[in-house]
Structure 1
Amino acid sequence: MNEMWLWLEENQGILAMYAVRFAIGLAILLGGFILSGIISRSMIKRLDKSKIDNAVVSFLAGIVRAIIVAAAIMMALSHVGIQTTSFIAILGAMGLAIGLSLQGSLANFASGVLIMIYRPFKSGDYVEAGGVAGTVIGIELFTTILKTPDSKKVVVPNSQITSNPITNYSEHPTRRVDMVIGVSYSADLKKTKEVLMGVLNDDPRVLKEPEPRVSVNELADSSVNFIVRPWVNSEDYWPFYWDTMENIKLKLDEAGIGIPFPQMDVHLHQGGSDEGPLRIASTVSPSAGSDADKQHANHG
């Protein structure tokens, strides 16, 4: 017993130092737990305002909390005097190995988080993303699910979506319809313009603002091309497009305005003598139709 008291008296300075270190380490650990709770709760409140899925919010908050707690534990152990260098090296090697083996999944996960935070589209929007066009029916952490116009289910990796341009056709309430109508060079341009504008004015789906536009756009090889650009509500885009193309053809026919189409001229050449060979030469005139200059996917 006397020897123990003697040892305590001789080493009381060292014991006091380790006691202080232990107390500080414990304070760091408790502070880390408290700080992680405060930050995770604040993060949940901010993400909830962004209308992100609750499962994603909880998952992200859990990750942040775990990182803060792990950092606090390492700091506390280091302050007490426990060497954590080798431990950190082992954890780093394990993390690197796991990251390399799951790099595709991690990229999809990170992209899914970005999609849910920045929300370039939402469920129900018609988009063109990752090389696929369709209606969004689900946004998950690793994939986005689209339904194509012909009712196919397409699962697109999120990394493929964020690494390519995203076109959201449902983002705005109105869209401009772009059509190119070619008429014959013999057609009366003023009359043609009146007919095209009349088709637009007779359709109640055409918005007054912005005003529809009909103008000569190109003097092509065998036709005069008009651009027809009305604005409609987004949900009326394709029904209006199809109806208008049909109405334009009918109205141009009624007005006697021709729409050029591909033609072939056949020329017969007789040889110089009566028994000379008969030669046939043909030429094809350039085509010019009234189809729209760009065909979009049917998502009606």
Structure 2
Amino acid sequence: PDVNNTVCTNHNGWISLHGYLAQWELTTLLDVPRTIEYLAYLGYQYLNDSQLSAITVTRDKKIDLDKKQTSRNVFRCHVMGAKGVGKTSLLQGHLNRNLRYVATLNKEHLSSFTINTVQVYGQEKYLLLHEVDVAVSDMLNPTEMNCDVACLVYDVTNPRTFEFCARMYLKHFLDSRIPTLVVACKTEHPAIRQDYHLSPAQFCHKYKLPPPQSFTCIDKVNKEVYIKLATMAAYPNLKRLVHMLLVQQNPLWLQEKIRHVRDIISRDDKIYLKIGLLAAALAGVGFIVYRMSSSSSSSR
């Protein structure tokens, strides 16, 4: 049953042609011998009665990084975050499923993988999302580190969730060549201050990461995050600024600044008087400069 929650389905819950092809890509990426076995069952024959002719072997990812280009069309994203931050919603949103639909699914039939196509600069790429169940104290094994892009997820309504992302990045991804995106889930709710010495926006700025990407799927799924992840996976050598410009960012940093100003106002009862006096002083200086410039022009 988990296959139906791994690829796209139609309104009846049946796997569509698009989902069927995506399932082949997933199986081939994770288990090539099984793909060859399936091809044999289906009677696939081409050259020398071998199923190997159906498999395309791409060059090593390290070579792609050195060459700064790749011929691959399937990219793997590992999704990590504390429990309850919204990782399942993020994975199911990749299949165009909103939160209301996800709530109707049997949790026992949910998959830790989802795969779908994403348009990257006009080209269709497959993006595989894999939820990695790991604690912040755990060391990631080579399989868990084997991805094209990492997605660190936190909940904007839970103040203890961003610390997980920060520690995971500093512990595993800071010195790696794996592009990393911080995703803020449940942004349909007001964000609260995280219990970490740096805000998510400050953390990303300090370590030269793209700004936190907002995500919500309560009704309509925000697809920008998948475009961002696929582009970072396909073009890991692009600079941070280019990744920032790929999609329109939800200004989480602006929300933090506004919240900071509100805190200042709430702590200082005389803040409006101070602002008014400052505005009056600036207006007075401007008027004096204007009169002086007018007098100088008249004397000429």
TM band (smaller chain): under 0.3
The one of the two structures with greater contact order (alpha-carbon pairs below 8 A, sep at least 6) is 2
Q: Radius of gyration: which is bigger?
A: 1
Higher percent of residues as strand = 1
Q: Normalising by structure 2, report the TM-score.
A: 0.25
